[in-house]
Structure 1
Amino acid sequence: MRNTNRYQVNKANSLWQIYQTVSFWKVMKNFIVIQLARYTPFLAMKNWLYRTFLRMGVGGQTAFALMVMPDVMFPEKITVGSNSIIGYNTTILAHEYLIKEYRIGKVVIGDEVMIGANSTILPGVTIGDRAIVSAGTLVHKDVPAGAFVGGNPMRLIYTKEEMEKRMQGDADA
């Protein structure tokens, strides 16, 4: 199970109660900053916007590709390590609004992680150092360090040890 905090709601679905969980002005500010960052081609500027205005943890030399969409409501719950790549049009969520409850959870992406284009990362997930997430993956559970995962639903393709053997075999060839 993902590591999220769950909050029950009583009346209408949880999205109707959104501004009881997060400030309207915070969402507006975050939306504007995210839209600027999504379209800017300058990686250092994106990282500065994310760190300064959204309070995301972003390591050095991390690259957010064009159109990456961090969580607009709780971006401060997202941490990305150093020298990682977040692929084109990837969505990183730290919240889920459901019918009878909403959930909020941290997303931790390690160092030297590669996330392929059009992936979605759900709240409460940790992706270990040097993991690879193939394009179009729905990351719905933790990814071990050094693993290669992909698909929808996500599945383990290679463990760290299998990846090291493959890399060693390629180097010997």
Structure 2
Amino acid sequence: MKVLKVMSEVTGRLDLNEFARMVGLTPNQTIEHMQELLKADFLRKVGSGYGITDAAKTVLKALSPVPTGMEFHFYITIGHPTIFKAKSLLDFYGTVKQIDAASLEFHLYRGDFENWTREALNDAVFAEEFAKLKKLKLKGERLRKAIIKAAEAKYGLEKLQ
């Protein structure tokens, strides 16, 4: 993902050798990474160069760390923290896949996921997905699958796994 991140930050044209040096790869490795990003629809051809797609911008947002102090700390119940915390949406997604479903239920029905996505991720649309899930009163693995599906639909995270 470093190739994608650097591409999002570059404001002008670069030759391949200079770009490869910036991402810490050989020119051949850089080309291979760029071909993979093209296949994943994260890059598009622009004239004789490449540009990042909206899907790539969305994924980069998911990889970006939240501001310090806004990490999501997972609990089973009040006073019973887990070892998990999410510093980015990708961390959150990975944790949802493995944490005890009781923690997911606890946070969903308290509105914690809605609040965190709205405040830390600055994503009111994704926060609304949690409000919708809450109304469905899902539990256990059905809830886990629904959260994973919502994150994948919004951010394309399945492409990163």
Name the structure with the higher helix share: 2
Please indicate, yes or no, whether the TM-score normalized by the shorter chain is above 0.5: no
Q: Name the TM-score, length of structure 2 as normaliser.
A: 0.29
